[in-house]
Structure 1
Amino acid sequence: MASNVLTPILGVFLLVLAVLYQTHFSTSIWAFAGLGRSLDLNLTSRAASQCQSYPELGACEDGWMHEDSGLLYLACSSIEGRRNWLPTMDRLNAAKRPTTDAVYVVDTRGSGSFASRVNKIQPTNFDGINGDATLNLHGIAVLEVASKPTPSEGDDLVMDASYTPPTLYLYLNNHRPPMDPSTGKLLNAAKVGANSTVEIFKTTLGDKKMEHVRTYTSEHIHTPNRVAPISPDSFLWTNDHAVKVGLRRLMSYVSNDGSVGYCGPSGCKIVADKLGYPNGIVASAKPNQFWVPAMREGKMKLFEWQPKDQSLVL
């Protein structure tokens, strides 16, 4: 008798699973697991034989290249630190978070050893956590405000005494640990999540210092993945999850609850939602257009920014 009752229930359960797989899980499994992709072992072997190890650049999430000069800006951490503290991957051991994260600039066209062409950029006017000036970096985006005159198309950049380097605004994802404001002690990040912000720094091309301009913090900046600058004081960013911790966060891997937000002088807001794990955002070659990879959906989505009403249109 029990078997007769369980059989239709089991059938309905399997049917529901099949429907969910086709509508939700299949794309997630194939996109996240990389199923169906091929690996060129010969290419991997050749690349490994030509690589040089540089420990300070061991966990660089993102980079930006100044094409005229060949200067490469990187937001870097430590591999061991990332194993303990990387909120976007649910690694929330704040007590063992890295304390040496930094922005580096690499001269990719210079002469001499690789080490001689790597410089750490020192932040100024930045307090960090409890005055320790530390950053917990996860990505970098850069806005260049060009000097005049600029090189003509096809001309080489000559960085001599007459050259005025452009101003660069660096936008950094900073996954700060949660802290009790009254005691300065760490809170349980597994329960409350990270206290993430977007930090804006100002520098000039090739300088070894960057001046802190502003910290953007908002209830809408809850799981920032990457920033795309619009102006020196405004930007778009992606939240790869809907919440910082909890069951709903786990459901983000099979549901479309990521978002794109906008921050400007007057504050921050969400301008696009229902995105399947938006793992970044980058400006298109065309003005006011931005690409967003929706990983869970296996799609690249093109949005257009509307400056007049500060909205984003798919």
Structure 2
Amino acid sequence: MGVGRILLNILVVLAAIAGGFYQLKLKPILVKFGQGRVIDPRGNTDCTTVPELKACEKLVLHQPSGVVYLACSTQESRPHWLPNAQRFNATGASRTDYVASYNPQSGKVTKLKTVNFNSPRGLSLHGMDVVASSSNPSELWVYLVNHREPLSGDPKVVGADSSVEVFKTTLGGSTMEYVRTVEDPLLLTPNDLTGTPDGKAFWVTNDYGVKTGLIRDLDLLGRATTSVVYCHETEGCKYAIQNMHGNNGIAQAPNGTFYVVNAIGGQLTVLEKQADNTLIITDVIESDRSMDNASIDSEGDVWVAGFPKALVLVYEHFANPTKVVSPSTAFRFSINTGPNSFYGQKFKVDRVCDRSSYTLSVACHRIT
């Protein structure tokens, strides 16, 4: 057999391998990320734009009052400093991010001023939770993921020096008082968190297993490196669960059930809290697209933000958020009480809202 024939056979084999890889691995990912998807607008007849609130990564609804709390930044800074998306230009970072409250009934927006928070690295916010105090329901604990610039080293090499900041505010107030900063090596790439009503503990997702580098991209192919970390004021931090995939948003139901969003795989993972505050997976609910943050309404339904065009979000909107819009979806996950629940379909997934005109940065809420 001649050299040319051997090379041809090798090329044929390589082409077959590449074709198989595309069909079995890459194509399902691209489809889930929105390749070829046509937006089907729905649920857009009763929406309000709040122009004062921009680049708000997370919102939390205080259900008794209907007031919404948001962790916000600036559109101008996001293309420069967004460590979870490997944007590490610290000179362009916003260090004056803020928490705002929004009353949908009156339309009033209040930017909460920090009290006794004197960090020179300021606030570069991501995930957030707002929890009513167990000792006084009118007092609220505010838990914030803060992506600080590292004290030394190139951020592109060492990553962000992320922490969790804990504040306290009052319902309807205009300030939030600094309580403490939580720093720990396990807070590797924190994304979102859910806190306790005593202000002492929280669970936070790491959305990658390493801070920087191309190796992170292997997670797109299914590498399971993400985790949930549990931190307590006096006990420190520990892993609640490891070796998960694509962790992003997290929410906690009153009955102790946790929900963690797999942003890459488009899944909602159901977990149960153990006596030692670790978590075990009990179920996985599928969707057809990439997803982000989650929240739970008064009826126990889980609302999750989805991205019908995730590739547009990551490669176009993140680079130019003031000019390139990214379509968005709001999902509602609920217990299936219909006839098909007897055939193994335990959960119902409703696509409540689809928008092509702007991005829903966080999960939608129903005020009840």
TM bin (shorter chain): 0.7 to 0.9
Residue 256 and residue 120 in structure 1: after superposition, are their counterparts in 2 closer, same or farther (change >3 A)? Answer: same
Q: Does 2:31 correspond to 1:30?
A: yes
Q: Take 1:244 and 1:260, find their aligned partners in 2: how far apart are those partners? A: 15
How does the TM-score come out when normalised to structure 1? 0.80
| Structure 1 residue matching 2:248: 3-state secondary structure | coil
Structure number, greater radius of gyration:
1
Kept in 1: contact 2:60–2:68 (CA 8 A): yes
Give the alignment partner of residue 69 of structure 1, picking from 65, 79, 88. 65
Give the alignment partner of residue 281 of structure 1, picking from 219, 231, 250. 250
How does the TM-score come out when normalised to structure 2? 0.69
Q: Which amino acid aligns with 2:148?
A: R
Q: Does 2:158 correspond to 1:167?
A: no
Q: Does 2:155 correspond to 1:189?
A: yes
Residue 207 and residue 29 in structure 1: after superposition, are their counterparts in 2 closer, same or farther (change >3 A)? Answer: same
Q: Does 2:3 correspond to 1:2?
A: yes
Number of the residue aligned with 2:51: 53
Kept in 2: contact 1:59–1:79 (CA 8 A): yes
Structure 2: give runs of 5+ residues left out of the alignment: 282-368
Q: Which amino acid aligns with 1:230?
A: T
Number of the residue aligned with 1:95: 91
| Structure 2 residue matching 1:13: 3-state secondary structure | helix
Q: Take 1:19 and 1:271, find their aligned partners in 2: how far apart are those partners? A: 37
Q: Does 2:204 correspond to 1:253?
A: no
Q: Take 1:166 and 1:147, find their aligned partners in 2: how far apart are those partners? A: 9
* Distance apart, 1:287 and its partner CA: 1.6
Q: Take 2:40 and 2:49, find their aligned partners in 1: how far apart are those partners? A: 17
Q: Take 2:17 and 2:243, find their aligned partners in 1: how far apart are those partners? A: 23
Kept in 2: contact 1:166–1:204 (CA 8 A): yes
Greater RCO (CA < 8 Å, at least 6 residues apart): 2
Kept in 2: contact 1:78–1:100 (CA 8 A): no
| Structure 2 residue matching 1:313: 3-state secondary structure | strand
Q: Does 2:266 correspond to 1:295?
A: no
* Distance apart, 1:99 and its partner CA: 2.8
Give the alignment partner of residue 127 of structure 2, picking from 139, 159, 183. 139
* Distance apart, 1:43 and its partner CA: 5.9
* Distance apart, 1:19 and its partner CA: 4.8
Q: Take 1:273 and 1:36, find their aligned partners in 2: how far apart are those partners? A: 33
**Aligned-residue RMSD, C-alpha:** 2.3
Q: Which amino acid aligns with 1:34?
A: G
Q: Take 1:80 and 1:263, find their aligned partners in 2: how far apart are those partners? A: 32
2-11 vs 62-71, greater mean Cα deviation: 2-11
- Identical positions, percent: 35
Q: Take 2:87 and 2:31, find their aligned partners in 1: how far apart are those partners? A: 24
Residue 2 and residue 127 in structure 1: after superposition, are their counterparts in 2 closer, same or farther (change >3 A)? Answer: farther
- 1:108-123 map, 5 Å: 108-110=104-106, 114=107, 117-123=108-114
Residue 14 and residue 118 in structure 1: after superposition, are their counterparts in 2 closer, same or farther (change >3 A)? Answer: same
Structure 1: give runs of 5+ residues left out of the alignment: 149-164, 181-186
| Structure 2 residue matching 1:80: 3-state secondary structure | coil
Q: Does 2:210 correspond to 1:235?
A: no
Structure with the bigger percentage of helix: 1
Residue 23 and residue 129 in structure 1: after superposition, are their counterparts in 2 closer, same or farther (change >3 A)? Answer: farther
Q: Take 1:252 and 1:224, find their aligned partners in 2: how far apart are those partners? A: 16
Q: Which amino acid aligns with 1:293?
A: V
| Structure 1 residue matching 2:264: 3-state secondary structure | coil
Q: Number of paired residues?
A: 277
